Amino acid sequence: MLIPIVRFLDDEDIKVKEVAASITSYLTLSHSYHGALVEAGVIPKLVHLLQTKDNDYKIIRKEARSSLVELSTDDSYHALIVDQGLVRIPLVGSSAYKAFRPQPHSWPSFPDGSEIQRSSRPSKYGATELLLGLILNEKKAEPDEAKINAMIGRSNQQFLARVGAIEFDYEGKEQSGSQRNDHHTILPWIDGVARLVLIIGLQDVSAIAKAAHAIGDASVNEHMRTSFMEAGAVKSLLQLLMHNDVPVREASAYALEKLSGSSKVCEKIRVEDGRELLVNVLKDSDTPVEQLEKTIHVLSRILDMEPNYYASTGSEDIVDDEKCSQGNVDGELNGMSQNLLKQDELDRFVQALLDS
């Protein structure tokens, strides 16, 4: 029964598509149908419908988004949706964005904090500063595609936040998730990554925790991990590890653990002096056990990038039997078992880090 319904999502008759999309949206309200719908190939079809900008597709887009939000509640199906270029975003309410303040004018930088290189060419009328694209004639200054996408996403989301329209859909109406799950929506990955990074910079602790957790959930592959890194998530998440709100700290640790599956992210953490901050988290007696576990996982991955570390510190006996092999560079899970949380071993591990 489900296969014909999914096929009708491709029908040339827009009325047939609309009915099929409505039925699909209704079926996704029950988790028992999720597996059969996904096996029938519903996710790529829903993604295609959601991305169709034709005005006649307003209802279809709404139903497609609702279906994808419901399917994304299952972690494995959420990963498939992310692979299709979409990200699940928590709806935190327009009031949370009132605290957003754009940075004061200064020489522009990329979202990850690195500065845009100044051109060596003189500009009589200051055009180089006004039109940053002029400096791209110098090949050494060319940003890669990831940085460009991060800038586009940041510009889009900050503009929407400034004008108070950040949680509105294409039709100018305030977004809602689905009939049952009205706390999330779905965005294209460029905007989704930038939205989540913007939220973790707000003041609403509930919104921050939700966004940090969503960053972890979306970090399912190397592309997404490095995209969050380029968008500036790493530095913000490291700072949130010391937040006075426990759920924020735990969500940030979760996000960093997922992101650290990328060797590039591990290097970024090291450059941001994140290792010292992570050690301070371990030393804090008030750090929850769950956050301790995730912090140790992140540290172990960073140390795996330093082959001489164990020999120089003499700490090989502490971690060698507990850590898993790193796997491939796009970041399979790797870390230490929960046995490291025994206090005496934890003390030795921290001391080894401090001595390195």
The whole-angstrom separation of Cα 300 and Cα 334 is 8
Distance CA 194, CA 156 (A): 8
> String of b and e for 166-176 (b: at least 16 CB within 10 Å)?
bbeeeeeeebb
pLDDT classification of 347: cutoffs 50, 70, 90: low
Angle, helices 189-199/233-240, rounded to nearest 10 degrees? 30
What's the CA angle centered on 67, arms 64 and 71, to 5 degrees?
135
Q: Residue 107: is its pLDDT beyond 80?
A: no
What pLDDT score was predicted for residue 226? 96
pLDDT of residue 350: 58
Q: Is 336 helix (H, G, I), strand (E, B) or coil?
A: strand
3-state secondary structure at position 90: strand
Residue pLDDT, tens place only, 231-290:
999 999 999 999 999 999 999 999 999 999 999 999 999 999 898 899 999 888 888 898
Read off the pLDDT of residues 77-106 as tens digits, 9 standing for 90 and up. 999 999 999 999 999 988 888 888 776 544
Query: Could you tell me if residue 68 is inside a domain?
Result: yes
For residues 315 and 239, the model is more confident at: 239
Q: Is residue 11 part of a domain?
A: yes
Kindly state whether residue 74 falls inside one of the protein's structural domains: yes
Query: What integer is the mean pLDDT of 199-223?
Result: 96
Domain-embedded: residue 1: yes
Would you say residue 42 lies in a domain? yes
Report the share of the chain in percent with pLDDT over 70: 69
- How many angstroms separate the first and last alpha carbons of the chain? 62
Count of structural domains within the chain:
1
Enclosing domain of residue 79:
1-84
CATH number where 43 lies: 1.25.10.10
216 and 252 Cβ atoms separated by less than 8 Å: no
> Cα angle at 234 between 230 and 237, to 5 degrees?
140
Give the mean pLDDT of 2-27. 94
Mean pLDDT value of segment 314-319: 37
What value does the mean pLDDT take over residues 17-45? 96
How confident is the prediction for the chain on average, in pLDDT?
Answer: 79
| Residue 255 counted as domain residue | no
**Residue 319 buriedness (CB in 10 A; 0-12 / 13-18 / 19+):** buried
Distance from C-alpha of 205 to C-alpha of 199, rounded to nearest angstrom:
10
Residue scoring higher pLDDT (342 or 55) = 55
Mean pLDDT score, 323-342: 40
Does 18 fall in a domain?
A: yes
Q: Phi, psi (5° rounding) for residue 89?
A: -125, 135
Between 260 and 144, the more confident residue is: 260
The predicted structure's pLDDT at residue 344: 53
Q: Is 73 inside any structural domain?
A: yes
**More confidently predicted of 255 and 157:** 255
Q: What is the pLDDT of residues 60-74, one digit of tens each?
A: 999 999 999 999 999
Instruction: Provide the pLDDT for residue 232.
Output: 93
The stretch 195-223 carries a mean pLDDT of: 96
Q: Which pLDDT value is given to residue 186?
A: 94
- CA-based angle 229:233:236, to the nearest 5? 140
